[in-house]
Amino acid sequence: MPQTFDIVVIGAGPGGYATALRAAELGLSVALVERDATLGGTCLNRGCIPSKALLTAAHAMHTARWAPVTGLQVQVTGFDFGALRDYRMRAVDAMVKGLAGLVAHRGITVFRGQASLAGARQVTVTPSPGCEAVLRYIKAGVAEPVGDWMRLDAANVVLATGSRPRPLPGEPFRGALIDSTQALEQDTFPDSAIIIGSGAIALEFASLWSQTGCEVTLLIRKDRVLSGWDRRTGMTLTRELKRAGVNVVTRSHVTAVDTGMNLGATVHYTREGEEGERQAYAQLVLAAVGRDPVTDFDWLAAAGVALDDRSFVVTDPRGRTSVPDVWAVGDITAGHALAHRAFEQGIVVAESIAGLDPRPVDETTVPQIVFSLPEAASVGLTMDQAKAREDLVGVGETVYPMMGNARMMMSDAAGSLSVVTGADADDPDTQRVLGVHMVAPDASDLIVEAQQLVGNRVPLAQAARLIHPHPTFAEAMGEALLKADGRPLHTR
């Protein structure tokens, strides 16, 4: 006997569970189908939460090493890896259990199993690998076997199947060549590591491992990390990584990775403008060159759900796919592969299904963050992107000298902050904040204000009138806005 719901969500990562939570809040009946034993997807279980738990330890190590400069005598003897593992697992467990409790409280029915579209409004659920039956959860943590298959009928189906780590071309993950999930599961930190990539995952592991005394080599293809970001931000963070002891090899191209019976791996690579091939050896090699959408299902193709040339599900601005009543959110849609973007997508889809008229997600207002040491954050347009827009005029960039900020001077970090401004072509006299890009110890929190200014299209003159407390890292934003508005206070 099939069960009927207003919405069936396939995948319980950030996009999936956000859709479910908001839909239930709006009074819709919701089923959430998840293949894994716990809710939360990659973010809670294998990504955001465990990695930030480890980075918290790295920050503590960094602070302890800087403490003698302030007169505090601290002796650091190393890590208790068992305690660190327990700390990481407690953080994940607390978040996962909290989510399960919230889902149950909202009246959402959870099924553990493998889902497939049997029709535009029908989902078949079969047991997950290692399970003999499909499991149903109405109460958090209380499993009820419901047979070796289950049919769910739905007025709407939401796809939220997430993404997986992308391997190097022709080099599958194996042995010492690992992905980010395997890197998080290491019980000890490596003595030496080669990291291939220049995005958030690569840079966070470079910061983490270098703080523990690991000899880190970072192989990047461009002249700076975060090459798709604002140039000043990427150059600043590249410099700071080098200052922290990371060996950054620019303009490199990996040709092969040797992994044998012994521990470790050898990476073969070339460098632009140089003759011959080079080699580097390390205990671990982390390939962090991006993630691919998990859309390679036969049932997805059979259902007629359109994909683009990169295997992302094609949607309209509110998440509708090519199949009526089938929606998609999260990493399987083109755009920033970030949990907070997926949260908002889920809210938009749920509200659209409920008959509301939500504003679609604007990719230019999605903050990007790297939890490195120091952190990097960005929102909105870069200078080059703004200049390329025909609907913008009077585009300019204001650079604030971060070392002029009192709190920055007190920290063991350098940084950068730039504000991009411009006016709409049909309102050339009103300058607005179009983008903010920064490197600073607390950039992940500082970018929140910038997102509000960019997302709400606040006129620069109004933004510059906002009062920032002194002395704080956030004061740098206020000073930069004043400078952009032609009224610098503590800067020239």
pLDDT digits (tens, 9 = 90+) for 379-422: 999 999 999 999 999 999 999 999 889 998 888 788 999 999 99
* Residue 361 dihedral angles phi and psi, to the nearest 5°: -70, 130
204 annotated among ligand-binding-site residues? yes
CA distance readout (Å), 207 to 125, 194, 242, 252, 296: 41, 13, 10, 20, 33
Instruction: Give the pLDDT band of residue 261 (cuts 50, 70, 90).
Output: low
201 annotated among ligand-binding-site residues? yes
pLDDT digits (tens, 9 = 90+) for 353-382: 999 999 999 999 999 999 999 999 999 999
Q: What per-residue confidence (pLDDT) applies to 368?
A: 98
52 annotated among ligand-binding-site residues? yes
CA distance readout (Å), 16 to 13, 269, 338: 5, 39, 13
Q: What per-residue confidence (pLDDT) applies to 412?
A: 78
Q: What per-residue confidence (pLDDT) applies to 119?
A: 80
Greatest distance between any 2 Cα atoms in the chain: 73
Tell me the average pLDDT of the chain: 95
Is residue 441 reached through a cis peptide bond, with omega within 30 degrees of 0 on the bond before it? no
Short-list 457, 469, 465, 456, CA closest to 484: 465
pLDDT digits (tens, 9 = 90+) for 288-312: 999 999 999 999 999 999 999 999 9
- Spatial distance between the Cα atoms of 358 and 336, rounded to a whole number of angstroms: 20
User: Higher model confidence: residue 68 or residue 318?
Assistant: 318
**Does residue 157 surpass a pLDDT of 90?**
yes
Burial class (CB in 10 A: 0-12, 13-18, 19+), 272: exposed
CA distance readout (Å), 169 to 166, 360, 464: 9, 35, 48
3-state helix, strand and coil shares in percent for the chain, rounded to the nearest 5: 35, 25, 40
Q: Give the contacts of 273 (CB within 8 A, at least 6 positions apart).
A: 251
25 annotated among ligand-binding-site residues? no
Q: What per-residue confidence (pLDDT) applies to 123?
A: 97
The answer to whether the CB of 2 falls within 8 A of the CB of 151 is yes
Dihedral sign for Cα 431, 435, 438, 444, please: positive
CB atoms within 10 A of CB 357: 7
- Spatial distance between the Cα atoms of 235 and 455, rounded to a whole number of angstroms: 26
**Does residue 239 surpass a pLDDT of 70?**
yes
Which stretch of DSSP H or E encloses residue 199? none
The answer to whether the CB of 212 falls within 8 A of the CB of 243 is no
162 annotated among ligand-binding-site residues? yes
- Spatial distance between the Cα atoms of 195 and 124, rounded to a whole number of angstroms: 40
**Does residue 120 surpass a pLDDT of 80?**
no
290 annotated among ligand-binding-site residues? yes
What does the pLDDT average to over 199-228?
96
Return contacts of 336-342, CB within 8 angstroms, 24+ apart. Answer: 336/363, 336/366, 336/368, 337/163, 337/291, 338/366, 338/368, 339/13, 339/14, 339/43, 339/48, 340/14, 340/366, 340/367, 341/366, 342/13, 342/14, 342/15, 342/18, 342/160
161 annotated among ligand-binding-site residues? yes
Q: What residue ranges of the chain are covered by domains with CATH 3.50.50.60? A: 3-47+86-162+294-363, 166-289
Q: What per-residue confidence (pLDDT) applies to 61?
A: 86
CATH number listed for the domain at residues 166-289: 3.50.50.60
Q: What residue ranges of the chain are covered by domains with CATH 3.30.390.30? A: 374-485
Per CATH, the architecture of 374-485 is what? 2-Layer Sandwich (3.30)
- Spatial distance between the Cα atoms of 54 and 31, rounded to a whole number of angstroms: 33
Lowest-pLDDT choice from 147-151, 410-414, 437-441, 471-475: 410-414
What does the pLDDT average to over 63-78?
85
163 annotated among ligand-binding-site residues? yes
Q: Any idea what DSSP says for residue 3?
A: E
**Does residue 132 surpass a pLDDT of 70?**
yes
**Does residue 260 surpass a pLDDT of 80?**
no
Short-list 229, 203, 204, CA closest to 378: 229
253 is catalytic: no
Short-list 183, 253, 249, CA closest to 217: 249
Distance of CA 143 to the CA centre of its chain: 31
Q: What per-residue confidence (pLDDT) applies to 78?
A: 81
Q: Give the contacts of 144 (CB within 8 A, at least 6 positions apart).
A: 135, 136, 137, 138
CA distance readout (Å), 288 to 198, 259, 285: 8, 17, 10
CATH number listed for the domain at residues 3-47+86-162+294-363: 3.50.50.60
Instruction: Give the pLDDT band of residue 194 (cuts 50, 70, 90).
Output: very high
**Does residue 63 surpass a pLDDT of 90?**
no
* Residue 305 dihedral angles phi and psi, to the nearest 5°: -75, 120
Which position among 59, 62, 437, 470 bears the catalytic label?
Answer: 470
**Does residue 1 surpass a pLDDT of 80?**
no
- Spatial distance between the Cα atoms of 190 and 181, rounded to a whole number of angstroms: 15
**Does residue 25 surpass a pLDDT of 90?**
yes
- pTM of the predicted structure, to 2 decimals: 0.95
Q: What is the DSSP string of 438-482?
A: EEETTHHHHHHHHHHHHHTT-BHHHHTTS---TTSTTHHHHHHHH
Lowest-pLDDT choice from 70-79, 138-147, 158-167: 70-79
Dihedral sign for Cα 435, 441, 446, 448, please: positive
Instruction: Give the pLDDT band of residue 80 (cuts 50, 70, 90).
Output: confident
CB atoms within 10 A of CB 278: 14
**Does residue 66 surpass a pLDDT of 90?**
no
